[in-house]
């Protein structure tokens, strides 16, 4: 059985780690700061060292085609898109946030150390798992941890801190961290984001991965709904592409050449932030972080 939240808090207190409970008058900022300054274990340090770098670009379709032609000698279609039409597949992510949208604020303010909580889905098959994810940014390094959970078990996990193990030998540490962060931040489901992804990767130690995300859409979602299908998605734009370049370790020379040749301009771009902004403007989210 997954360790419940109270036991985790007690364990951290005994270890001398600061715990900042969240109450109606606490925005959660103190808790986020306490996470940054907690002692790092050897395994946590190793996780940071082996983290990923992510570069984002906001481009049109003609530029996307030029990038695809450039990367052909270096990368191949990823295993998820190999047998799919157009070598592409849908992704839906359900994001959690606090009542004051603290995760969104941290992102907008450019905090170097921050994290997101989300549940990611790739289809609506009840026999296929969703993935509970924690995505951390530590300075310029991105570290993502995830654990598979069946949809039928999500409510029991989120509301009761428990997941049965009939289907998966899952990562209890990741699930425990997710629940601990959600509890301290009073984070609940807020918004879902959907897009079609085409991804290319290599098999080197540097694990280069380049993704093209299209038809970026969003919907307010304060239930534990991880569905892919539906008619209530609102599209941000239909003719733009979010290009992401991801790698571990050194910045590959050929990518540097591509960026210069194609005049790509790296941008700070958050699918989550722009989706929250749209929902706030339509009155679906409160309070607004824009005044």
Q: Which of 14-28, 181-195, 247-261 has the lowest mean pLDDT?
A: 14-28
Q: Are strands 234-235 and 141-149 parallel, antiparallel or unpaired?
A: unpaired
What pTM was computed for the model? 0.81
SS3 285: coil
Q: How far is CA 73 from the centre of its chain?
A: 29
Longest C-alpha distance within the chain, in Å?
57
- Distances 46 to 55, 99, 119, 147, 251 between C-alpha atoms, Å: 22, 33, 25, 19, 19
Write down all domains in the chain, each with its CATH number in brackets. 5-11+27-281 (3.20.100.30)
Q: What is the pLDDT of residues 102-156, one digit of tens each?
A: 999 999 998 889 999 999 999 999 889 999 999 999 888 999 999 999 898 899 9
| pLDDT at site 50 | 52
């Amino acid at each position: 059985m997954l360790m419940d939240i109270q036991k985790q808090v007690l364990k951290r207190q005994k270890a001398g780690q600061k715990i900042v409970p969240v109450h109606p008058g606490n925005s959660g900022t103190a808790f986020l700061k306490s996470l940054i300054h907690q002692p790092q274990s050897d395994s946590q340090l190793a996780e940071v060292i082996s983290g990923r770098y992510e570069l984002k670009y906001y481009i049109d379709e003609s530029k996307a085609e030029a990038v695809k032609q450039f990367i052909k000698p270096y990368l191949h279609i990823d295993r998820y898109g190999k047998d799919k039409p157009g070598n592409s597949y849908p992704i839906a992510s359900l994001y959690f946030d606090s009542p004051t949208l603290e995760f969104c604020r941290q992102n907008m303010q450019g905090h170097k150390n921050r994290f997101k909580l989300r549940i990611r889905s790739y289809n609506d098959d009840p026999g296929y798992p969703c993935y509970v994810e924690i995505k951390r940014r530590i300075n310029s390094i991105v570290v993502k941890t995830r654990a598979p959970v069946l949809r039928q078990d999500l409510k029991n996990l989120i509301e009761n801190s428990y997941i049965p193990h009939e289907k998966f030998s899952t990562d209890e540490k990741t699930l425990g961290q997710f629940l601990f962060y959600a509890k301290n931040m009073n984070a609940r489901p807020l918004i879902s984001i959907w897009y079609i992804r085409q991804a290319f990767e290599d098999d080197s130690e540097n694990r280069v991965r380049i993704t093209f995300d299209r038809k970026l859409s969003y919907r307010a979602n304060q239930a534990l709904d991880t569905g892919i299908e539906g008619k209530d998605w609102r599209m941000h734009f239909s003719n733009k592409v979010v290009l992401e370049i991801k790698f571990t370790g050194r910045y590959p020379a050929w990518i540097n050449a591509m960026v210069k040749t194609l005049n790509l301009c790296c941008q700070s771009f958050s699918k989550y932030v722009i989706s929250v902004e749209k929902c706030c403007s339509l009155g679906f989210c409160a309070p607004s972080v824009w005044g």
